[in-house]
């Protein structure tokens, strides 16, 4: 089995309701060139995300992924990431484009 690094254990929510708790998420800052391809948010708030080896998920655009174990020093709240795009692959992994959500949702 391939090892991978988990940056956060996130809670997935949709329309203020919890969909799935305890999802292991890898997060990596996207380059400014890649981020500009998607438009929208400032490039320094756009991330690649990956979830591996978790079955039964349904991750959709606009879902919110929250890391309750960490406090964002800028907002004094748990960091939140809004799903921009999500793609599922048959080897049981999701690739995500995420925006860091600031303030309240």
Please state the φ and ψ torsions of residue 38, each to the nearest 5 degrees. -85, -15
In a domain, 97, yes or no: yes
pTM metric for this prediction: 0.83
Contact between residue 29 and residue 47 where contact means Cβ atoms under 8 Å apart: yes
In a domain, 33, yes or no: yes
- What own/partner pairs with CB < 8 Å and gap ≥ 24 does 34-38 have? 38/84, 38/85, 38/97
In a domain, 20, yes or no: yes
pLDDT tops 80 at residue 7: yes
Number of structural domains the chain divides into: 1
Q: What is the pLDDT of residues 29-79, one digit of tens each?
A: 887 777 777 665 565 688 899 999 888 999 999 999 999 999 878 778 888
CATH number at 76 reads 2.40.10.270
In a domain, 3, yes or no: no
In a domain, 19, yes or no: yes
In a domain, 24, yes or no: yes
Whole domain around residue 50: which residue ranges? 8-101
Contact between residue 78 and residue 68 where contact means Cβ atoms under 8 Å apart: yes
In a domain, 12, yes or no: yes
In a domain, 2, yes or no: no
pLDDT of residue 105: 42
pLDDT tops 70 at residue 1: no
């Amino acid at each position: 089995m391939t090892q991978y690094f988990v940056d956060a254990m996130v809670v997935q929510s949709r329309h203020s309701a919890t969909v799935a708790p305890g999802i292991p998420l890898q997060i990596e800052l996207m380059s400014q060139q890649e981020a500009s391809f998607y438009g929208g948010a400032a490039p320094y708030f756009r991330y690649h995300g990956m979830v591996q080896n978790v079955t039964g998920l349904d991750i959709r655009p606009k879902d919110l992924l929250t890391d309750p174990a960490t406090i964002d020093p800028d907002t004094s709240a748990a960091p939140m990431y809004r799903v921009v795009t999500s793609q599922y692959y048959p080897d049981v992994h999701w690739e995500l484009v995420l925006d860091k959500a600031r303030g309240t949702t």
